[in-house]
Chains A and B, each alone.
Chain A
Amino acid sequence: MTARIGVVTFPGSLDDRDTQRAIRLAGAEPVALWHKDKDLKQVDAVVLPGGFSYGDYLRAGAISRFSPVMETVIEQAKAGLPVLGICNGFQILTEAHLLPGGMLGNDHLHFICRDQKLRVENAETCWTSDYTAGQEISIPLKNMDGRYVADQYTLDKLEAEGRVAFRYLARGEAADGYGNPNGSLNDIAGITNEAGNVVGLMPHPEHAVEPLVGTGRTDGLPFFTSILKKLVNV
């Protein structure tokens, strides 16, 4: 028996299929979940994929957060269900207040699409244990609303508790994927909740799981092997 990992499809989701594929490549079983369905089909973990659910109307993630499936996801995430939010999924997690802070438009007002260098800051969450702390990775980034903001108290708390999971690598040239791509405070690319079961990030690990395509690297694969090991060893 392998782990069953659900991937939610909202109207406007784009990366649900790629996420399912990444889960399969890691050796787990992907399970398609539908936004209108409260039933999580007894999955062991859930991924909220990237895209523009509900057209980003009102705010990115604001309407999805109230979808039937999210009612169950929110309830079970609070009880320890591992949940990963990628890009739009991260926005949904902040709107659902499963993760602190909020997401706003990129400071330069443009859509950005590039391979992005990141540093893994926390390798102890359900989704990052196959990385090592301080490891530098490169995975695709593509978004309009990627600017992470939070008040100073929240930022200080995240830093003090080691809950910044991924940070944009500031040094180096933008053309090589370095630098803060959107004005995110403290160069934050991704964060975790206190328990380490809920993680959100803007860049896309599911697009970097095969050497043949994307970045030509498999730097995103450890997200999916991390959770698989976690679930199978339970």
Chain B
Amino acid sequence: MARVVVDVMLKPEILDPQGQAVQRALPRLGFEGVSDVRQGKRFELEVDGPVDDAALARIHELAESFLANTVIEDFTVKVEEVVEAGK
């Protein structure tokens, strides 16, 4: 089994008021020196079977058509090693 991670972010030119609200809260919490925050989404897909090129291509298609709206968002797809507990 493998995990495929899809990260979705608003395109850089689009205003992210949630990220701005987080950034403005940082000084109150004692975190200085962070000039910008942008908030995105992370999807973890547990995939049965091998993550070969064909599987990745399908996930890419899924991300492009559904997980992200490419009119307003960019996305990346990456495979993550799953370390199973007790092994």
Contact of A102 among B15, B21, B66, B71 (CB under 8 A): B71
Q: How far is the CA of A151 from the CA of B69 in the complex (A)?
A: 13
Residue of B nearest to A65 (CB): B66
Are A95 and B15 closer than 8 Å at their CB atoms? no
- Tally of contacts, chain A with chain B, CB under 8 A: 33
B34 within 8 A of A: no
A158 within 8 A of B: no
Are A107 and B15 closer than 8 Å at their CB atoms? yes
- Which residues of chain A have C-beta atoms less than 8 A from B54's C-beta? none
B5 within 8 A of A: no
Given contacts A62-B66, A66-B66, A109-B21, contact A104 B71 (CB under 8 A): no
Given contacts A62-B66, A66-B66, contact A94 B18 (CB under 8 A): no
Are A149 and B67 closer than 8 Å at their CB atoms? no
Chain A residues with CB under 8 Å of chain B are 58-59, 62, 66, 94-95, 97, 100-102, 104-109, 149-151, 183
Q: How far is the CA of A100 from the CA of B18 in the complex (A)?
A: 24
B40 within 8 A of A: no
Q: How far is the CA of A62 from the CA of B41 in the complex (A)?
A: 14
- Which residues of chain A have C-beta atoms less than 8 A from B13's C-beta? 151
Residue of B nearest to A152 (CB): B13
Are B72 and A102 closer than 8 Å at their CB atoms? yes
Task: Tell me how far the C-beta of B22 lies from the nearest C-beta in chain A, rounded to whole angstroms.
Answer: 11
Given contacts A62-B66, A149-B14, contact A104 B72 (CB under 8 A): yes
Are A59 and B69 closer than 8 Å at their CB atoms? yes
- Which residues of chain A have C-beta atoms less than 8 A from B15's C-beta? 107, 149, 183
Q: How far is the CA of A150 from the CA of B70 in the complex (A)?
A: 11
Q: Which B residues from 15 to 42 make CB contacts under 8 A with A?
A: 15, 17-18, 21
Q: Top 10 closest A-B pairs, CB basis?
A: A102-B72, A102-B71, A107-B17, A109-B17, A102-B69, A149-B14, A59-B69, A149-B72, A109-B21, A95-B69
Q: How far is the CA of A151 from the CA of B70 in the complex (A)?
A: 11
Are B69 and A100 closer than 8 Å at their CB atoms? no
11 contacts between A and B (CB under 8 A): A58-B67, A62-B66, A62-B69, A94-B71, A101-B71, A102-B72, A104-B72, A107-B15, A109-B18, A149-B14, A151-B13
Residue of A nearest to B67 (CB): A58
Q: How far is the CA of A62 from the CA of B66 in the complex (A)?
A: 7
Task: Tell me how far the C-beta of A148 lies from the nearest C-beta in chain B, rounded to whole angstroms.
Answer: 10
Are B17 and A105 closer than 8 Å at their CB atoms? yes
Residue of B nearest to A183 (CB): B15
Residue of A nearest to B72 (CB): A102
Are B71 and A150 closer than 8 Å at their CB atoms? yes
Task: Tell me how far the C-beta of B23 lies from the nearest C-beta in chain A, rounded to whole angstroms.
Answer: 13
Residue of B nearest to A102 (CB): B72
- Which residues of chain B have C-beta atoms less than 8 A from A107's C-beta? 15, 17
Are A104 and B66 closer than 8 Å at their CB atoms? no
A58-B67, A105-B17, A183-B17 are known; give 11 further A-B pairs, CB within 8 A.
A62-B69, A100-B71, A102-B69, A102-B72, A104-B14, A107-B15, A107-B17, A149-B14, A149-B72, A151-B13, A183-B15
